[in-house]
Structure 1
Amino acid sequence: MSPLRADAARNRALLLAAAADEFDEHGLDASVADIARRAGVGKGTVFRHFPTKDDLIAAIVRSRIEELNAVAEELLTADDAGAALFTFVETAARRQQERDLSFLRGAASPIDAQQRMATLLDRLVERAHEQGALRPDVTGTDVLLLMCAPNHVVSFAPDASPDLWRRYLAIIVDGLRPEGARPLPEPPPAGFSG
């Protein structure tokens, strides 16, 4: 890789991290100048990588989804499919807790990365079903929708401890297990995988 490409990749990574921090602190009104300053680059560098603020936000969303896709890909090789699925759900919830991404709510999600996540999650769910570790009426879409629930619930609790999300994650995971499960009252929603 040429030095220019290495510099460009480094600048892009710095910009994504700086933008996520700046948006977290100041919302979507954060200025490009402040993002550039935080990243240690000029405004022109920001615009070379991301012509618009929406492009920058989309890149942050993509990077977060792709990080989770890499985790899911790795977990597909685990011997214990149930543990792998629940590790993925916990990882998604933990990363959401560690990185306040509430500023991304409503941001457009890159369809290809989202579809890849849905496909990987469907495979994790299928493997968990095959091993009897997941109630048979739960779909990948169900799990995808539940991944954000622990942190969403905690956002309504006044003075919540930083680890309160784990309580709700445990409730969700127990609800996904086949032991003691009763039939679900409604069919699952349509999938995200397209």
Structure 2
Amino acid sequence: MTSPPRTLRADAVRNRAILLEAAEKEFAERGPGASVADIARRAGVGKGTVFRHFASKDELIAAIVHMHISVLDATGRRLLTTADPGAALYEFLTAAAAQREQQDVSFLLTADDASAEVVALREQLYATIGALVDRAREAGAIRPDVTTTDVVLLMCAPNHVVSFVKDPPPDLWRRYLALIFDGLRPEGAHPLGPPPAPL
């Protein structure tokens, strides 16, 4: 028979996951101005429940950013050990675009008023991206004048472009990611993937 403390811990873990999912969707739809009340309503709980898990809205934002950063940073660090630096950078950009297709909350990462914790997470990810870019540049896989900042800014471009298309077909972002990566290469062109959708 499960003891009450274990049940409470399991409930707490489940409630935290529900809150994070609700907050992620609320921020994606409403932007950084989404309130704790909005998030609580979407999660089907009271504001008090939110604050039992997260002491402030900043702490909640940091938890969401950490979810995204931890996955991307782990992907980037793994790719730093692969043999082909150009393929590694392309795989990383693909993973980043695929994540943003599901829920784009990148503005939480780059906000001017980001908390110290979010800034630290951001710097950690940027350092990993910088290492991927350096490897690709040194291998001649990308143009010698491409910088880490260029790549960071281009990470969200595929899904941003697709957001202007009404009812885009699945994976349309891959076409624009291919265009971006061909722009990073020093020479050559590659298939663009799905055909463009009508505006």
Q: TM-score range by the shorter chain?
A: 0.7 to 0.9
In the superposition, relative to structure 1, how do residues 102 and 78 fare at CA in structure 2: closer, same or farther (>3 Å)?
A: closer
Equivalent residue letter for 1:81: P
Contact 1:72 1:121 in 2 (8 A): yes
In the superposition, relative to structure 1, how do residues 69 and 105 fare at CA in structure 2: closer, same or farther (>3 Å)?
A: closer
Contact 2:109 2:122 in 1 (8 A): no
Count of aligned positions: 177
In the superposition, relative to structure 1, how do residues 89 and 106 fare at CA in structure 2: closer, same or farther (>3 Å)?
A: closer
2:146 aligns to what?
A: 138
Q: Which runs of 5+ in 1 are unaligned?
A: 182-194
For 1:1-194, list aligned pairs within 5 A. 3=6, 8-24=12-28, 28-29=34-35, 31-37=38-44, 43-101=47-105, 104=108, 107=111, 108-109=113-114, 110-179=118-187
How far 1:77 moved relative to its partner? 1.0
How far 1:163 moved relative to its partner? 2.0
Higher relative contact order (CA 8 A, sep 6+): 1
In the superposition, relative to structure 1, how do residues 155 and 105 fare at CA in structure 2: closer, same or farther (>3 Å)?
A: farther
How far 1:100 moved relative to its partner? 3.9
Q: Tell me the TM-score normalised to structure 2 length.
A: 0.74
In the superposition, relative to structure 1, how do residues 127 and 105 fare at CA in structure 2: closer, same or farther (>3 Å)?
A: closer
State how far apart, in whole Å, the 1-side matches of 2:165 and 2:72 are: 26
How far 1:121 moved relative to its partner? 0.7
How far 1:47 moved relative to its partner? 0.4
Structure 2 residue matching 1:115: 3-state secondary structure? helix
State how far apart, in whole Å, the 2-side matches of 1:100 and 1:81 are: 26
Structure 2 residue matching 1:31: 3-state secondary structure? helix
How far 1:86 moved relative to its partner? 0.6
State how far apart, in whole Å, the 2-side matches of 1:61 and 1:94 are: 16
How far 1:62 moved relative to its partner? 2.9
In the superposition, relative to structure 1, how do residues 115 and 67 fare at CA in structure 2: closer, same or farther (>3 Å)?
A: same
